[in-house]
Amino acid sequence: MTAEEPGMAQQVMAADDLFPATRKTPLPGGYMGRILRVNLSTENFEVLPLPEEPLLKKLWGGQALALYILLRELAADAQPLGPDAKVVMMTGPLTATGLTPGGTKMCAVFLSPITGYTLGRAATSGFWPMALRAAGYDGLILEGVARRPSYLYIDEERVELRDASPVWGLGTRDTENRLRELVGHRDARVACIGPAGEHVVPAAMLVNDYNHNAAHGLGALFGSKKLKAIVARGTRRPPLHDKKALIDAGRRWRKVLEPTVYTVQQRLKSPGYGGLWGAITRNNWRSTVITDEARGFDQNRVTLRPCFQCQRLCPWDVEIGEGPHKGKGGHFNAGSEWMDTFYNLGLKGNDVLQLTERINDLGIECGHFANAAGLAFEAWEKGLLQADRTQGLVLQWGNHASVERLLEQCARREGWLGNLLAEGVEPLAKALGGDAPQWAVHTKGGSPAQHDWRPRISDMLDNLTGSGGMKSQGGGSYAVSPRDLANTEQWGPLDPALPEGWARSQMLAEQLKQACGLMGCCWFALIDINAEDALNSMMDSLNATTGWNMTLEDARAAGHRSMILQSIFGAQHGWRAEHDWKHVGPRFLEPVPDGKYQGFTIARWLPDIVQEYYRLSGRHELSGRPLPGTLERLGLEEFAAWAEREARP
């Protein structure tokens, strides 16, 4: 709250109103009906009833419901890693039904320790979200600080905060294995931090089920609270309104995804996601050309690892089959940002897979490390950084031993450079001085997802307008309006080299992907958003589960509410929309340096294209705050104090 804005303090709804002791409305299908509040300081646990159905119909679950709770729980002066910081973790009604693809999602929200002034959003899939629901809970509220390193054990009605000293100091792999042994249940699912979280690296991750992670600094929150892990298990399943209809809708949804199912052969030859458009990050974003980065992959043994009841087979394991790392294994998620992470440092082939296993075991968000380390390597190349500040390491592009050692230093904050790598690219650039700030890649101090998005207008919009950390908020490059929205949206194909139409495409994609996440599903299950029945089968799955009668317009509205709540949260902590184009690392906006997109940059259309996106979504183009009419249209009038009422510079 500022002197110019009297009465703008956060409104706090009484707990009894938000979490009713006696329900006045029926609990829809798909919900367990309970949220677990965990006070780590007092070791008290409270089972809260889920909000009433009218609120659930607005927000569904996931990011929107979690953020709505956080907006009412987080103190206005709370610091990202302070004792008053809170984390709200929430699933959605389709999480763990087992009858749809992608019904695997949990989303956590908090004040970002990376940016300090935007929403931290960490989403994960796999099996841990299913285990939380099997234990009987839709979500968690974490508050306070444990007296000693601890882990939370949830086994249906049995909830305990246990001593984590046997696993404190271990990497995520050994932690997961050891905790299963300690709790005595092989079916228990573990979400944990590694050394990076223990040392409160701002971009530390929470890692679960070997192949999955929740990024954007959630691991730092856990470390600051001395919470090593959450172990969950149970035998419960969410109730279903119409199981037969859900089976039919899920079958249709799976059919839509059949052409997108991953194969072993793809993993044996692909350089990663950037291969789809022909650009990767190399040498701190100074080259994009794909060469032999995938060399040696064809000698490996790959095992595809599905998430709970999803046939896309996005995660995968590897046993390296050649070179100095032969016989070593790795566990990877689907996004492949981690491949560009090490391409960015001049590495190729199975060196990349081996280092990826190390960064996941240490629990460091890969883009955070990639761009800070890339800056350090460029500073070494240009004489701005020397061995007296690297503990003797030689930072030459492609030096595997130096990169591996830097990972350890970053995770444990060892030495001058290790501590600055942990803090991130902006603090490192400032400490290096000279021209280093001009070589930085970041968005609002956080790292964009580590792919070279610069040739793709909508993906750049997605990363620029996201909350400033590895995972964006759900947009994507859709050049043609979705078939299932033909009655309301008919446009495209958009020109990938011109700005017209992309702001609308970004807004629509964000609405729909947010809606997918709110129902507890993974965005990768909506990968072919333009396919016939892609959206209708998703909505029919939601309605069969809950008993509602939601339309695609309702889905867009739910996704839009999530977007607006994010802006309100950011505004409460100092964010303004103009930060989206002003608080950006210069290298991220430079023209593409080489390859088939050479010379292309979104910067020529800034800030106009970002301002257009905010106008289209009913927010002020400079402040980012919602307009009063937007709040009224979305049923969010209770946040009227945070509306933008006049054009302000």
> In this structure, are 543 and 474 located in the same domain?
yes
Q: How does DSSP assign 275-298, residue by residue?
A: GGTT---BTTTTB----STTTTGG
Which of 627, 485, 625 is closest to 555 using CA atoms?
A: 485
Q: Is residue 444 part of a domain?
A: no
Q: What is the pLDDT of residues 264-316, one digit of tens each?
A: 999 999 999 999 999 999 999 999 999 999 999 999 999 999 999 999 999 99
> In this structure, are 516 and 625 located in the same domain?
yes
> In this structure, are 461 and 567 located in the same domain?
yes
> In this structure, are 468 and 522 located in the same domain?
yes
Give the SS3 label for residue 528.
coil
Would you state the pLDDT for residue 17?
86
Q: Is residue 378 part of a domain?
A: yes
* The last residue of a domain, from among 386, 411, 439: 439
Would you state the pLDDT for residue 8?
35
In this model, does residue 648 exceed pLDDT 70? no
CATH number at residue 183: 3.60.9.10
| Domain carrying residue 180 | 15-233
**What is the number of structural domains in the chain?**
3
In this model, does residue 647 exceed pLDDT 80? no
Cα–Cα distance between 569 and 303 in angstroms, integer? 41
Q: Cα 225–226–231 angle (5° rounding)?
A: 100
Cα–Cα distance between 226 and 89 in angstroms, integer? 17
- Edge to edge, what strands does the sheet with 301-304 contain? 301-304, 316-319, 329-332
Tell me the mean pLDDT in the region 94-115. 97
Token output for 6: 């009297």
Q: Is residue 571 part of a domain?
A: yes
In this model, does residue 63 exceed pLDDT 70? yes
In this model, does residue 213 exceed pLDDT 70? yes
**Average pLDDT score over the chain:** 94
Would you state the pLDDT for residue 336?
85
> In this structure, are 400 and 373 located in the same domain?
yes
State the pLDDT confidence band at 649, using cuts at 50, 70 and 90: very low
Q: What is the pLDDT of residues 549-590, one digit of tens each?
A: 999 999 999 999 999 999 999 999 999 999 999 999 999 999
Q: Which of 187-191, 405-409, 469-473 has the lowest mean pLDDT?
A: 469-473
Q: Is residue 281 part of a domain?
A: yes
State the pLDDT confidence band at 645, using cuts at 50, 70 and 90: confident
Would you state the pLDDT for residue 11?
41
> In this structure, are 324 and 206 located in the same domain?
no
CATH number at residue 608: 1.10.599.10
State the pLDDT confidence band at 472, using cuts at 50, 70 and 90: low
Q: What is the pLDDT of residues 328-360, one digit of tens each?
A: 999 999 878 999 999 999 999 999 999 999 999
Which has more pLDDT, 6 or 257?
257
> In this structure, are 93 and 215 located in the same domain?
yes
Which of 381, 616, 361, 352 is closest to 509 using CA atoms?
A: 616
Q: Is residue 10 part of a domain?
A: no
Which of 139, 207, 105 is closest to 525 using CA atoms?
A: 105
> In this structure, are 107 and 39 located in the same domain?
yes
Number of C-alpha atoms within 13 angstroms, CB side, residue 463? 26
Q: Is residue 4 part of a domain?
A: no
In this model, does residue 3 exceed pLDDT 90? no
In this model, does residue 201 exceed pLDDT 80? yes
> Cβ distance 407 to 400 under 8 Å?
no
> In this structure, are 198 and 275 located in the same domain?
no
Beta bridge partners, 151, equal 162, 229
Would you state the pLDDT for residue 51?
98
> In this structure, are 179 and 40 located in the same domain?
yes
Q: Identify the H or E element spanning 442.
A: none
Token output for 67: 């953020």
Cα–Cα distance between 518 and 565 in angstroms, integer? 13
Would you state the pLDDT for residue 468?
76
> In this structure, are 218 and 278 located in the same domain?
no
> In this structure, are 422 and 506 located in the same domain?
no
State the pLDDT confidence band at 241, using cuts at 50, 70 and 90: very high
CATH number at residue 403: 1.10.569.10
Q: Is residue 415 part of a domain?
A: yes
Q: Is residue 447 part of a domain?
A: no
